[in-house]
Homo-oligomer: A and B are copies of this chain.
Amino acid sequence: MGKKNAKHKAESSAEVRFIGFVESAGEDWARIRIYPEFCNGLKGIEGFSHLIVIYWLHLCDSEEERRTLLVYPKRRTVNVLTGVFACRSPTRPNPVGICVVELLKREECSLKVRGLDAFEKSPVIDIKPYIPRIDSVEKARTPEWAC
- Name the distance in Å between A51's Cβ and chain B's nearest Cβ: 8
Number of interface residues of A (CB under 8 A): 74
State the Cβ distance, A39 to closest chain B Cβ, in Å: 8
Tell me how many chains of this kind the complex includes.
2
The prevalent SS among residues of A at the interface is mixed
A contacts, CB < 8 Å to B: 1-2, 5, 8-9, 12-19, 34, 38, 40-45, 47-50, 52, 54, 56, 58, 61-63, 66, 69-70, 80-88, 92-94, 96, 98-100, 117, 123, 125-143, 146-147
Q: Kindly list 8 other residue pairs between chains A and B, CB separation below 8 angstroms, not including A17-B66, A43-B70, A131-B142.
A: A1-B62, A9-B61, A44-B83, A49-B141, A100-B135, A135-B136, A136-B138, A136-B140
